[in-house]
A and B are shown apart, each in its own frame.
Chain A
Amino acid sequence: MVVPFKSLRAGQQWCRFPSEFEDLRTRSTMGKRRSMFQLSGQIPVLQTNNGPSLTGLTTIAAHLVKQANKEYLLGSTAEEKAIVQQWLEYRVTQVDGHSSKNDIHTLLKDLNSYLEDKVYLTGYNFTLADILLYYGLHRFIVDLTVQEKEKYLNVSRWFCHIQHYPGIRQHLSSVVFIKNRLYTNSH
């Protein structure tokens, strides 16, 4: 990774981005030296040797997925593709955009309701949307109380499933979910 000449004011949040690519990159066929990440403000930039640079988390992620010949992670049908992109956009605008407690609870409530009849965000297939939403939500989920985790039961089920998906969790802490329900009245 190249640290640009301009100083990086390292904040936890910003360092998160490259690690998200770590997973995608090890899966990709690219040699480590051929691509370089730079951070410009909060927005990651990918510099490759064979083309213009790419800017933006989801743009780079989708590019790397293609490089790694794992296009199925972007969805197979037109519908699935659109849904994947919708949740990627959700990640960068809603999850990264808001951090007030209120916003996050509305977000978790909506997501919980959405996941009620779904295993993954697109329904039955694991995609890039699951990966990036998992990374984006991790910092909020670790702070949830046992009661809250139970309140957002579907989110918890989905999240726990994704964190155990091979190669996804990386350095992030494993979040503990209790299998037997403690607060039977709350749900």
Chain B
Amino acid sequence: MRLFVSEGVPGCLPVLAAARRARGRAELLISTVGPEDCVVPFLTRPKIPVLQLDSGNYLFSTSAICRYFFLLSGWEQDDLTNQWLEWEATELQPALSAALYYLVVQGKKGEDVLGSVRRALTHIDRSLSRQNCPFLAGETESLADIVLWGALYPLLQDPAYLPEELSALHSWFQTLSTQEPCQQAAETVLKQQGVLALRPYFQKQPQPSPPEGRAVTNEPEEEELATLSEEEIATAVTAWEKGLESLPPLRPQQNPVLPVAGERNVLITSALPYVNNVPHLGNIIGCVLSADVFARYSRLRQWNTLYLCGTDEYGTATETKALEEGLTPQEICDKYHIIHADIYRWFNISFDIFGRTTTPQQTKITQDIFQRLLKRGFVLQDTVEQLRCEHCARFLADRFVEGVCPFCGYEEARGDQCDKCGKLINAVELKKPQCKVCRSCPVVQSTQHLFLDLPKLEKRLEEWLGRTLPGSDWTPNARFIIRSWLRDGLKPRCITRDLKWGTPVPLEGFKDKVFYVWFDATIGYLSITANYTDQWERWWKNPEQVDLYQFMAKDNVPFHGLVFPCSVLGAEDNYTLVSHIIATEYLNYEDGKFSKSRGVGVFGDMAQDTGIPADIWRFYLLYIRPEGQDSAFSWTDLLLKNNSELLNNLGNFINRAGMFVSKFFGGCVPEMVLTPDDQRLLAHVTLELQHYHQLLEKVRIRDALRSILTVSRHGNQYIQVNEPWKRIKGSEADRQRAGTVTGLAVNIAALLSVMLQPYMPTVSATIQAQLQLPLPACSILLTNFLCTLPAGHQIGTVSPLFQKLENDQIESLRQRFGGGQLEETFDLKAKTSPKPAVVETVTTARPQQIQVLMDEVTKQGNIVRELKAQKADKNEVAAEVAKLLDLKKQLAVAEGKPPEAPKGKKKK
């Protein structure tokens, strides 16, 4: 037989790696041909690799060739291998081809490449870790391993695309890659050029169709229905039956919260918002709200939790703001600190401490760390070229300069960073620099500054990262950013600035300078804790016992993952270093960008004036949390999610469950006699609950919210199928069935109230009050679904949880926040050309939304038809019909058709 292979063709990797299996069984000739050669006479399109058999037949499928080699060696086919190979062909290959295409043809990087395969990689990782075997189909390497390894090798051989958190995949891949036949195959096919060897091959492939709407939509991925084993069902039933007694006692409240030896101690920080402005929704979801969800979850797990944040008050922006408002910097900080605190209180953020950085503790700790660094030789002194405005007679800090970005040509780049391309800028490199205060052109002058000697600390940092990163929950973007900084090599970083408003530098010759905010802002976490308790060192100098989670947007990663760790590693004082950096991508506003410095978007204090409750804001922001990719705030989407997910799904289910108990059973939870179908439901809910836990343990906040909605969907469907409102009027057996269904449903509602607690604390408390859920069950969430409302339990008064949002209302809010508030509220005096903020534009919805609505309409239509066919209760029918009409109206609006009643003005 003869094997035809070609360099730079991915399918040849597994085939060559498997070929040795056939050695000694048959004579094998290997011919190298061009990648475009048509070897198989009956195929129109070229196909490599190909195996020509002695019978004259051809094998043209990579997997089939490998399979044949394995079969020759005496291997027998089995179900598990078949399943892996089918999955490889139908799921992995399309995803992988897309990723490789983006990488080698389009030159994309990072998450743009990894995004399309992440799901598949996670699937492999989970399968490996679940079955606890080193290989895909058991204890020994087999066909499935070779085929999948060969498919994955081109991408994963670059460590940047082998996510470290997938540790099982990691070790599986390393094991295979070090084997001789695999190494030889890689050498033959990739010729040591890495993935670029595949470039000519992929250039001839059609461009992969974009992964369905991922980048543009906030819709959940298609949910997969898990299959259940009898064992899983039995376990779920046992846990359910144990009920309340399996709950541990509530941990007593401590004040102050301090780490406890032998317990899980979770320290959570949210990036410190800058005090000079009101935070916008992007800031809120990026750090404080995300961290709040995790803190609340952590408390539900009974972990010893301290959540802290505060305003970052020093720096140039405060000085600018003070100039603008004619106040002193201290007055500005006092004023805005209160505004911040009020906003977060309104959003129900559960800080243990919300402090500030302008305190004596801050000075003490910062200067201590600096002195230690100085003494150990990690501080350099150097002359810096800096912009000086002769007119204002001072050196211009980064934020006092504006000019043309040297990288992308954006006209209003700031002195430290370009808003458009996001690159960091050295202020002297700006083209056409302007003093922001007087608009004159500054000159370059030299001045002395202090630098943190990062190159000298690099080795310690890498050692620490090597210990910390594997198996931790750092988000992929944070890993990627840190890795790329390290790859480019660290440079000394300036830690002083020519300012007055800051922590003074305790060194002769630098008395008129202060520390750069990014040297001391991260120290703010320590000083804020120190103001909370004099035992702050038990949190911050206790790396063995404390698990530190830091939440931020991705632009803050270098400071938390590199600069601060280097500072405290150099200080050699046994500081607690970050265990998990949780970084979000960016949240956009409608079609544009939120910008604090330009005042575009919805701001924290205005959210209160919209009349939309804080929990709805929380829900929507968390639903679109920019987790793994940028996302966008959209008013239309907010309306849609409120009306579909909250009102029709979650609210509808919880309300119906409670109402049935009140209406049919006098407010008393009925007796439950579980049928196999009910047990199956229990197991499904348990599985979804466990999924929720797995996701939140990994801080996948947005994804875990989907689990809540899935549980509620299970519940709705359960009620819909079992029709307790009909059975209650039937025979004894029917009435008993209605009781079981109602009892189970109201218990699911109780579970939902707890799962919802991190996301919507007020709604959660309302549900718990309505259901009179016993206290420990309100504050503890176990991994199993328990019967927390046993038969005989008396519930309270049930009322609807959510309100519908109307199109008119949303339309007017959109107009109000579309732009213009910049001029009203945040009029920057120095601004010469006010940029038109995002203008309200097209109102027609995206195709995905239309599709969703159409599906909803169809679904709701079926429900109505079913009810009518069954001659159901009139009110029931009327309610469902109303929902249907409403959905149709939404659809009409989304499609840009005028709704029946003329209301709201639509452009185009």
Contacts and interface: CB of A to CB of B under 8 A. Distances in A.
A82 B64 contact: yes
A113 B42 contact: yes
A56 interface: yes
B684 interface: yes
Interface string B59-75: 11101110110011000
A21 to B, nearest CB: 15
A56 B86 contact: yes
Contacts of A58: 82, 86
A109 interface: yes
Contact of A78 (B72, B90, B717): B72
B421 interface: no
A125 interface: no
A9 B45 CA distance: 35
B53 interface: yes
A59 B79 contact: yes
B61 A86 contact: yes
B227 A89 contact: no
A88 to B, nearest CB: 8
Contact of A55 (B87, B229, B855): B87
Given A78-B71, A81-B77, A106 B85 contact: no
Nearest to B66: A82
B interface secondary structure, majority: helix
A25 to B, nearest CB: 16
Interface string B845-865: 000000000010001000000
Contacts of A12: none
Interface in B330-374: none
Contact of A85 (B41, B67, B684): B67
A56 B71 CA distance: 22
A9 B855 CA distance: 9
Q: Quick one: which of A4, A90, A92 has the most chain B CB within 10 A? A: A4
B79 A62 contact: yes
Contacts of B859: 7
A143 interface: no
A106 B45 contact: yes
Contacts of B63: 85-86, 89
B43 interface: yes
Nearest to B73: A78
B82 A89 contact: no
A81 B53 CA distance: 13
B228 interface: yes
A6 interface: yes
B662 to A, nearest CB: 25
B609 interface: no
Nearest to A112: B42
Interface stretch (A45-53, A158-166, A169-177): A45-53
A55 B64 contact: no
Given A58-B82, A59-B86, A92-B90, A5 B224 contact: no
A47 B79 CA distance: 13
B83 A54 contact: yes
A148 to B, nearest CB: 17
B90 A53 contact: no
Contacts of B544: none
Interface in A36-85: 38, 40-41, 43, 45, 47, 49, 52-59, 62-63, 74, 78-79, 81-83, 85
B227 A45 contact: yes
B713 A6 contact: yes
B89 interface: yes
Contact of A5 (B59, B71, B225): B225
A110 interface: yes
A183 interface: no
B57 interface: yes
Interface in B819-875: 855, 859
Interface string B88-99: 011001000000
Contact of B59 (A83, A93, A110): A83
A110 B228 contact: no
B681 interface: yes
A140 interface: no
B508 interface: no
Given A6-B717, A79-B57, A110-B44, A52 B229 contact: yes
Contact of A79 (B53, B89, B223, B684): B53
A89 B86 contact: yes
Given A59-B82, A59-B86, A114 B71 contact: no
A106 B44 contact: yes
A56 B82 CA distance: 9
Nearest to B25: A78
Given A59-B86, A89-B86, A40 B717 contact: no
A57 B230 CA distance: 23
A97 B90 CA distance: 8
B87 A56 contact: yes
B314 interface: no
Contacts of A78: 68, 71-72
A4 B225 contact: yes
Contacts of B227: 38, 40, 45, 47, 53
Contacts of A93: 89-90, 93
A55 B41 contact: no
Contacts of B301: none
A34 B223 CA distance: 26
Nearest to A111: B42
Contacts of A62: 77, 79, 82
B423 interface: no
Contacts of B717: 5-7
Q: Quick one: which of B65, B79, B222, B713 has the most chain A CB within 10 A? A: B79
B714 interface: yes
B230 A38 contact: no
A43 to B, nearest CB: 8
Interface in B8-63: 41-45, 53, 55, 57, 59-61, 63
Given A55-B87, A110-B42, A86 B222 contact: no
Contacts of A97: 90
Interface string B151-186: 000000000000000000000000000000000000
Contact of A63 (B61, B64, B71, B79): B79
Contacts of A90: 61
A27 B306 CA distance: 63
B519 interface: no
B718 interface: yes
Given A47-B227, A85-B64, A5 B82 contact: no
A109 B44 contact: yes
Contacts of B64: 82-83, 85-86, 89
Nearest to B87: A56
B332 to A, nearest CB: 54
A8 B222 CA distance: 12
B67 A81 contact: yes
Contacts of A47: 227-228
Contacts of B228: 47
A97 B713 CA distance: 30
Nearest to B721: A5
Q: Quick one: which of A5, A54, A92 has the most chain B CB within 10 A? A: A5
Given A5-B684, A55-B87, 12 more contacts: A6-B713, A9-B855, A47-B227, A54-B83, A56-B83, A59-B82, A82-B59, A83-B57, A83-B64, A85-B85, A86-B59, A97-B90
Ordered nearest first, which 3 A-B pairs have the shortest CB separation?
A: A86-B64, A82-B68, A53-B227
12 contacts: A4-B225, A5-B713, A6-B714, A9-B855, A38-B225, A45-B227, A56-B90, A57-B86, A85-B61, A90-B61, A97-B90, A110-B42
Interface of A: 4-7, 9, 38, 40-41, 43, 45, 47, 49, 52-59, 62-63, 74, 78-79, 81-83, 85-86, 88-90, 92-93, 97, 106, 109-110, 113-114, 116, 123
Interface of B: 41-45, 53, 55, 57, 59-61, 63-65, 67-68, 71-72, 77, 79, 82-83, 85-87, 89-90, 93, 222-225, 227-230, 681, 684, 713-714, 717-718, 855, 859
